[in-house]
Amino acid sequence: MASVPAVLTSEWTKIRSVSSTTWTLISAFAVTVGLAAGSGALVNATFDDLSEAERLTFDPTLVSFTGMTFGQLAMIVFGVLVVSTEYSSGMIRTSLAAVPQRGTLLLSKITVAGAVALLVGLLTSFVSFFFAQALLGDHGTGLGEENVLRAVVGAGLYMGLIAIFSMGVAAMLRSSVLAICILVTLFLLISNILSVVPYAKDVIRYFPDKAGMRIMQVVPDAMNTDPAPYGPWAGLGIMVLWVLAAVLGGFLVLKKRDA
């Protein structure tokens, strides 16, 4: 029986020895920070062109996370690769031979990769915030303002949770291509398209991305967006439930199916 510390060390070695996982994290950071900086500069230059409603609900903190929509795609790829690469390479058989306790193997993988994703997410959210606020000029805000720190930390938690959710889905599907296609389509297309469709948007707001992103808002109904029937922390809580469901599903599939 492999000890938990040994399994954790093994999973850390797997993550840092695969260049693709490292580059996806770098991409998540670069894309999110780059778009945050660009958005800050653009909003500062065009602030006078905003409508009265947009000015009244202007949220400078939320501008910092404009790139999150695309940055999260890299986190999705990271989460999928961490789990599914072993299936595509056949290494999952070796891993299960070394660690027969399937629950221990999956939870160790998610613990290590999830911790890395959370650290990268927090680094990304803070750097994005400082860049965007610097470029917003007089329209920016500071960490000391009410609820701003909560939004910045929440944005980092969101990125980490997206990666963990993707790990659970990948464990269920056991295919990199299938998992990435489904998750990218869900978060980039379906979620955004249906969020503007009457009646459908009442359901979409409970999807993990829409619910989780509420934690990033400081101003309620920021930038004239539709109000939600829950607050920032409740939205993050909904996302956590999605994550737990995905991880549980991944565990049940790993437990019941052959490698």
User: b/e map of 7-37 (b: 16 or more CB within 10 Å)?
Assistant: bbebbbebbeeeeebeebbebbbebbbebbb
Q: Going by C-beta distance under 8 Å and a sequence separation of 6 or more, which residues neighbour residue 63?
A: 36, 39, 40, 43, 132, 136
Average pLDDT, whole number, for the chain? Answer: 89
Region at 137 (left for phi over 0; alpha for psi -120 to 50; beta for the rest): left
Q: Going by C-beta distance under 8 Å and a sequence separation of 6 or more, which residues neighbour residue 183?
A: 76, 80, 166, 169
State residue 65's pLDDT score: 95
State residue 258's pLDDT score: 60
- pLDDT tens for 108-160 read 899 999 999 999 999 999 999 999 999 999 999 999 999 999 999 999 999 99
| Other CB atoms within 10 A of residue 82 CB | 29
Q: How many alpha carbons fall within 13 Å on the CB side of residue 214?
A: 24
State residue 35's pLDDT score: 96
Task: Please check the confidence at residue 20 and state whether its pLDDT lies above 90.
Answer: no
For residue 188, CA distances in Å to 180, 185, 192, 195 come to 11, 5, 6, 11
Q: What is the mean pLDDT of residues 206-233?
A: 86
Q: What is the mean pLDDT of residues 10-24?
A: 84
Q: Which among 152, 93, 77 has a CA at the least distance from the CA of 122?
A: 152
Task: Please check the confidence at residue 2 and state whether its pLDDT lies above 70.
Answer: no
Helices (H), 19-147: 19-46, 52-56, 60-63, 68-89, 91-98, 102-136
Q: Does the reported pTM lie above 0.85?
A: yes
Radius of gyration of the chain (CA): 19
Residue in this structure with the two tokens 């009457």, named with its chain if needed: 198
State residue 259's pLDDT score: 56
Q: What is the mean pLDDT of residues 232-259?
A: 91
Task: Please check the confidence at residue 81 and state whether its pLDDT lies above 70.
Answer: yes
Predicted confidence band at 223 (pLDDT cuts at 50, 70, 90)?
low
The rounded distance, in Å, linking the Cα atoms of 222 and 197 is 19
